[in-house]
Amino acid sequence: MQKDGKSHYDIPVQRIELKVDDYIIGNGEQHIIMPIVSLNLESCPDFKPGDRFVLALNKYQYGGYKNTASVASYFYISNDNKVYPAGEEEDFLRFSGMELEPFKRVIASMA
């Protein structure tokens, strides 16, 4: 992280390219890029090709997406279509092991 001489810091960002299969709430592009600030990289998933996630994202006004909350906004989808939160926040642990379709209905009902 470097200060540029003004009151601005240059913070490294990793951009994750994602293919979107479905939107639970809202709609958007089929391919999105989500920047992750380097300070948050150690707490987020590896995002390996083929991994499936449910992500809670907000869209920037100028384009692009950001996660709504660090690791708490990531849910891994297992091969048997069950959802597991990436974090250990108590509010989200209740979803651990829930089937994907019922999980999507619960999330949609919260909007």
Q: How confident is the model at residue 4 (pLDDT cuts 50, 70, 90)?
A: low
Question: 103 lies in which domain range?
Answer: 2-109
For the chain, how many structural domains are there in total?
Answer: 1
What separation in angstroms does the CA of 3 have from each of 7, 12, 32?
7, 12, 29
Whole-model pTM? 0.76
Chain segment 17-62, per-residue pLDDT in tens: 889 999 998 888 899 888 777 766 677 777 888 899 998 888 887 7
pLDDT over 50 (residue 1): no
What is the CB neighbour count within 10 angstroms for residue 103? Answer: 19
Q: Tokens 């999980």: give the residue.
A: 103
Return all residues near 2 (Cβ < 8 A) that are at least 6 apart.
9, 10
Chain segment 58-105, per-residue pLDDT in tens: 888 777 777 776 667 789 999 999 999 987 778 888 999 999 999 999
